Amino acid sequence: MDYSFKTFLKHTAKDFHNHSVNPPVVRASTIIFKSMQDLRKMQRMALKKPLGGHYDYGRKGTSTTFILQKILNRLEESYNVFLTPTGFGSVFLSIFSVTRPGDEIIVSDPLYNPTRNLSENYLKEFGIKTKFYNPHDLKSLEKSITSKTKLIYVECPGSNTFEFQDLKKVISIAKKNKIFTAIDNTWATPYFFKPIKLGFDMSIVSATKYYSGHSDVMGGTLAVNKKVYKHVKKADDVLGLRLGPDDAYLITRGLRTLDIRLDKHESNAKEVCKFLSKSKKVKLLYPYKKNSFNFRMWKKYYSGSSGLMGLIIRSKSRKSVLKFVNSLKLFGHGYSWGGFESLALLQSDIEMGDRKFLNLDKNEHLVRLHIGLEDPKDLIADIRKSLMLVK
């Protein structure tokens, strides 16, 4: 019987050999075989069936990491899924796989700052040029394409400012020009949006965030289609990236409740948005305004929304905005997100990066909120009280 993914998550990876509902944690560097014939057979099978659970060395994984790959491959509806030690590891793997000195990449401007630093600064040292496009004006993307363009890299929604874009048009532009595409899909996860199914070549998710869900794991995933698989496999073999079995186990455990947690993050975030939308001090960066471009693009491609949002707070005093953030009692102050707890950060210029298409005036200050799994009434009461400090 072909169960829904929600049911699949609750019943997959059971270990009937050990009579456990969870798979074992297999730690290994040497993968041992009874004979050389068995070893060679395993290597041949690995070439024929990339997701067949065939491996000959611990760097290529164990049964624990293979189980996680299989679960994610079904969720992503992809050809294969690669696992990395961090989310940023997957970002690097996607770009490194398809670019070489002399190439160019085009990147959406509202970008996670470490990715911006990688693409704009680090790659320059290897002769790879980066251009940026406005996600709300795809003509700026088309105008940037040359014969040297090898990759269009998308972050949707944009980091911190949450711009949505017309993803089918991005894919159409790329295919017309025979360019690879990659998207950072950490905000939605493939539970709410499946990039490979839409037509992207690569889909990145920081497993540190919603996949884990408990703020205690680092990990990344890169789902790929068949066209780009060999490129990524070759790069992955060279780089030696490996997710440890203990982290793989925790991510697998977290995935059991991914649907329940994301549905709750979404409903809590919508309750908070209802409250914040009435405040004259705040402009919401979240797909809630039905007549907005961002909402239309979100609705066109996504089946839901997560708990991460941005607030543009209008104030002549940055100190009062800092007081607002610091006075929140139910919101921790720290990096990352996607766990069960709520978080708040007042963004700095360094964290935003040198964006080409962002226009904030001197009296606008950007705060990022992650809405956790607490009672939304308590979160709203906390925000209401703290907003009174904004002058």
Q: What is the pLDDT of residue 350?
A: 72
Q: Hey, what amino acid is at 129?
A: K
Residue where a domain terminates, one of 218, 240, 255: 255
Please name which of 17, 166, 3 lies closest in space to residue 74, comparing C-alpha atoms: 3
> How many domains does the chain contain in total?
2
pLDDT at 178 (0 to 100): 97
One-character DSSP codes across 256-280: TTHHHHHHHHHHHHHHHHHHHTT-T
CATH number (domain holding residue 297): 3.90.1150.10
Domain match, 251 and 264 both: no
E strands of the chain, at which residues? Answer: 80-84, 104-108, 129-133, 149-155, 180-184, 202-206, 220-224, 282-285, 308-314, 331-332, 342-346, 364-370
The DSSP-derived string for 155-180 is ESSPTTT-----HHHHHHHHHHTT-E
Res 68: pLDDT: 95
Q: What is the pLDDT of residue 354?
A: 81
Q: Please tell me the distance from the alpha carbon of residue 193 to that of residue 87, in angstroms, as a whole number.
A: 18
Q: Which domain holds residue 19?
A: 5-255
pLDDT given at position 261: 98
82 shares its domain with 31? yes
The whole-number pLDDT of residue 191 equals 97
Q: Say which residues have a Cβ less than 8 Å from residue 76's Cβ, sequence separation at least 6.
A: 190, 194, 195, 196, 203, 223
The predicted structure's pLDDT at residue 1:
55
Same domain, 10 and 123: yes
Residue whose structure tokens are 């059971």: 14
Do 296 and 226 belong to one domain?
Answer: no
β-strands 180-184, 149-155 pairing = parallel
Q: Are 190 and 76 in contact (CB under 8 A)?
A: yes
Last residue of a domain, one of 215, 236, 255: 255
* Residue spans of the chain under pLDDT 70: 1, 17
Nearest by Cα to 344 from 359, 356, 327? 327
